[in-house]
Amino acid sequence: MKPIKVGLLGVGTVGAGTFNVLQRNQEEIRRRAGRGIEITMVAARNLDKARAVVGAGVEVTGDPFAVVNNPDIDIVVELIGGYELPRSLVLQAIANGKHVVTANKALLALHGNEIFAAAQDKGVTVAFEAAVAGGVPIIKALREGLTANRIASVAGIINGTTNFILSEMREKGLDFATVLKQAQELGYAEADPTFDIEGVDAAHKLTIMSAIAFGIPVQFDKAYIEGISQLQARDIRYAEQLGYRIKLLGITRRTQTESGEGIELRVHPTLIPASRLIANVEGAMNAVLVQADAVGASLYYGKGAGAEPTASSVIADLVDVTRLATVDPYCRVPHLAFQPNQMTDVAIVPMAEITTSYYLRVYVKDQLGVMADLTRILADAGISIDAVLQKEPGNQVNLDIIMLTHQTREKNIDAAIAKIETLPAVIGKVTRIRLETLS
């Protein structure tokens, strides 16, 4: 089957990331989607830069409408940003019967109702997983994963720039202006950071989640928006002393007012108990906490921005559309994620061959030289030690010696343990627990 043809509008950070991930993982993606996904035409302001990204095989144009009106294009990916031009392009693509994938939260927060109505009329999909929380599939979770629930609230750290700034302010005790400058130098904040630091970007994303959670139209103009630029370092410090962290939170929630049911829709700095998982989301990471009646609390965490995380969501949307366009609806999503004729049979590795780190506890008679014996056995096996702890677990005679090793194959550690257990000073079996840094 021929690849599905994609036209790309915008070859900036996310556009280039989308092209690169589609190229790099094309085999894996085709095995999942049941069909290749190919970017065949791109529109960019800087043609030379775009050509440098996409190479010679892809048509490059300066006119985005040439992509949108190209009858060979099945899906248009809109990664331009801004409001008016993308609105025209997306509406034109829909009018032409093309599916649209966009990462443009500003566009959807302001013109979503118009765009979705047009898409519904034409029977095409406008997919926008990438518009909220970058690589985190939160739109899918809210729109498909939690359909059984009456959703009570959605609260999210959905702007990486501000979360990075707040994390730095707290950890280093610095003031807002100083950290903002550093964030700009590191590329975590734009030259004009207004949309991020004043909460506008978070409000765009929250507006979209609010509509999905509660079945209401998008209504960005009703959102309350307060940013972090007025936050003082001492308030962060005092909050911490009281057991709280300050995060820029987007909150949307069902509420009862004196005049009946309503929806809260607000972005502002918020104290959260430090013990909550979401309070420990640091740096440029994003997380969304959903409260719903059947499932209770659930949380979705990951990178909220950047070329490849955002591309991950753009491409997930492309695969969704491709699966619909290609296969019997009921086999739309293969049971095991990959099309049944595209499974592989990579061998499961026996435990002896796995590589990890280890926690070892050796219970010994407190006898001179035992530590030297232990370290020699490990060194002979090529296993290096990361940390050592000695403890007296009750009586004053015998000792627990605890060692953390660096990575080694399990067969190596098992051989070393067998030798350790033959040492006369060692009592009983060695306790061995695997250790994963998960980094």
Contact pick of 5, 12, 13, 31 for a copy of itself (by CB under 8 A):
31
Which of the stretches 78-86, 159-167, 193-201, 431-439 binds a copy of itself when contact is defined by CB under 8 A? 431-439
Vertex 33 angle, CA 27 and 37, to 5°: 65
* x/- map, 152-191, a copy of itself, by CB under 8 A: ---x------------------------------------
Contact pick of 7, 10, 86, 135 for a copy of itself (by CB under 8 A):
135
CA atoms within a 13 Å half-sphere pointing along the CA-CB vector of 414: 9
Structure tokens at 364: 């010994």
d(CA 264, CA 224): 9
d(CA 42, CA 87): 18
Question: Please, is 179 exposed, middle or buried when counting C-beta atoms within 10 Å of its C-beta (0-12, 13-18, 19+)?
Answer: buried
Contact pick of 193, 199, 227, 269 for a copy of itself (by CB under 8 A):
269
d(CA 163, CA 60): 37
Are the beta carbons of 284 and 160 closer than 8 angstroms? Answer: yes
Q: Please count the other Cβ atoms lying within 10 Å of the Cβ belonging to residue 272.
A: 20
Site for a copy of itself in 191-220 (CB under 8 A): 211-219
Catalytic residue among 205, 247, 391, 411: 205
Q: Please count the other Cβ atoms lying within 10 Å of the Cβ belonging to residue 394.
A: 8
Nearest partner of 205 among 253, 289, 267, judged by Cα: 267
d(CA 421, CA 368): 17
365 in catalytic set: no
Nearest partner of 403 among 213, 34, 381, judged by Cα: 381
Smallest separation (angstroms) from a copy of itself to the CB of 10: 18
Which of the stretches 63-71, 168-176, 177-185, 288-296 binds a copy of itself when contact is defined by CB under 8 A? 288-296
Which of the stretches 38-46, 71-79, 136-144, 179-187 binds a copy of itself when contact is defined by CB under 8 A? 136-144
Q: Between 343 and 418, whose beta carbon lies closer to a copy of itself?
A: 343
Structure tokens at 46: 């800087």
Which of the stretches 2-10, 123-131, 166-174, 420-428 binds a copy of itself when contact is defined by CB under 8 A? 123-131
Q: Please count the other Cβ atoms lying within 10 Å of the Cβ belonging to residue 384.
A: 12
Site for a copy of itself in 367-426 (CB under 8 A): 387, 389, 391, 393, 400, 402, 404
Are the beta carbons of 116 and 126 closer than 8 angstroms? Answer: yes
d(CA 319, CA 312): 11
Q: Between 40 and 102, whose beta carbon lies closer to a copy of itself?
A: 102
Smallest separation (angstroms) from a copy of itself to the CB of 191: 25
Site for a copy of itself in 227-256 (CB under 8 A): 231-232, 234-235, 238-239, 241-242, 244, 246, 249, 251, 254-255
Smallest separation (angstroms) from a copy of itself to the CB of 251: 7
* x/- map, 325-364, a copy of itself, by CB under 8 A: ---xxxxxxxxxxx-x-xxxxxxxx-x-xxx---x-x---
Site for a copy of itself in 37-96 (CB under 8 A): none
- Judged by CB under 8 A, does residue 268 bind a copy of itself? yes
Query: What are the residue numbers of the active site?
Result: 205
